[in-house]
Amino acid sequence: MNIEVPQIYEEDIIEFAQRKGDVIFKYFNNGEINEIVFICVYAFDFIEFDYINEVGWKFGLELQSNSMYIEAITCNMSKEKLQRAFGGEYKKLQHYKLVIDDVGMYNIICKDITLNAVSP
């Protein structure tokens, strides 16, 4: 599932920060500041395009189904431990890919996401 965000260029990135378990990604677009807030983040990484060996990626923000990242986090947990993990809400885990122009992509494992326009 692709989530509509404009193509984000490296020079438009204002902030990428982790705060109180959330990851906030702010960028400038057409005269306004927008932010993507990834809520209850359990893991994230960044992969430069030079090191990407995946195919089929697109610029923008995309929710991944059948995520290898989520599988890697949960595969060694017993059923009982999995029921308690992630605040008892492991079924809410989502994997998002955020691909930035010619820089690379972020992989973010979280429970939810919000998209906001912020006053400059």
Helix (H) or strand (E) holding 23: strand 22-29
* Per-residue model confidence (pLDDT) at position 114: 93
- Cα–Cα separations (whole angstroms), residue 93 to 3, 7, 78, 101, 111: 17, 25, 17, 26, 5
The string of pLDDT tens digits covering residues 53-89 is: 555 667 788 899 889 989 998 888 888 888 888 888 8
Q: For CA atoms 40, 45, 46, 50, give the dihedral sign.
A: negative
- The DSSP letter of residue 74 is H
Residue 118 has pLDDT above 90, yes or no: no
Q: 22 - beta bridge partners?
A: 19
